[in-house]
Structure 1
């Protein structure tokens, strides 16, 4: 199995633009594990094996429990996620599946119980950044274990 192409080499300016987007999203101050839960959940929805692998390992390295990682797809059904995390996970799902129903008012209001307007936009940037990465990874045929040099 081989990736379709090395997008970093094919279009370095596009890669640099994505790195700038990611750098901005990371610089907003969102807690690392929450930021990575966003990445993990969006990647699960989008079916991006490369990103699921990378962000799952990152979560484990930063002390996330295996139970929470394994149960992330069923976050509504288990009591191991906080109300704040649940609000963010629901927003992540809505934004990732934006064409299916947008972001309902109750989702916005639930997130705003925990985050300011600025932080809401920060969350949107994080969600959109991972959705962009997922689409690039899937479209170029990336998979866990493949290595595309910078």
Structure 2
């Protein structure tokens, strides 16, 4: 287990609480809890954030998500286990997370969103993706440890 680098939430409580407030705002979105957590789990996988992947997988299980869908999240395009709405959200999450890989155009992914989400939901989804990317960077940079817990 890695040792945390700094007590970052204590050293910068205002920024931490501001980020938490953004999270509370996006959590109240009409997108639905499971969709948002699927997106956060996938972004955390892409970024290699062990702390966040663990947290979101546990959250998914606690809200009734199956192990098959959770373990297939890394191969969501091929698995065929996700709805069109979920696929559009996951594609957008990957696009906004891997910006360097998607510098040409985001039009196809955005068009996929428009068929599944309202304009407000697209913006809320984008804020959610931006925020989990920021959380991942803090957790990875500060070496947030994965707490040992029983499997749910």
TM-score (norm 2): 0.92
Q: Which residue of structure 1 lines up, in the alignment, with residue 99 of structure 2?
A: 98
Q: Name the CA distance, whole Å, in 1 between partners of 2:145 and 2:121.
A: 32
Q: Which residue of structure 2 lines up, in the alignment, with residue 110 of structure 1?
A: 112
Q: CA deviation at 1:99?
A: 2.1
Query: Which of structure 1's runs of 4+ aligned residues deviate more than 3 A?
Result: none
Aligned to 2:124, which of 122, 130, 140? 122
How many residues in Structure 1 have an aligned counterpart in Structure 2? 146
Give the unaligned 5+ runs of structure 1. none
Check whether the contact 1:34–1:85 (CA below 8 A) recurs between aligned residues: yes
Q: CA RMSD in A?
A: 1.2
Q: Name the CA distance, whole Å, in 2 between partners of 1:24 and 1:99.
A: 28
Q: CA deviation at 1:121?
A: 0.4
TM-score (norm 1): 0.93
What's the CA shift string for 1:102-121, capped at 9, x where partnerless?
Answer: 45211101111011111110
Q: Name the CA distance, whole Å, in 2 between partners of 1:18 and 1:119.
A: 19
Q: CA deviation at 1:27?
A: 1.7
Matches within 5 A, 1:1-150: 1-102=2-103, 104-145=106-147
Give the unaligned 5+ runs of structure 2. none
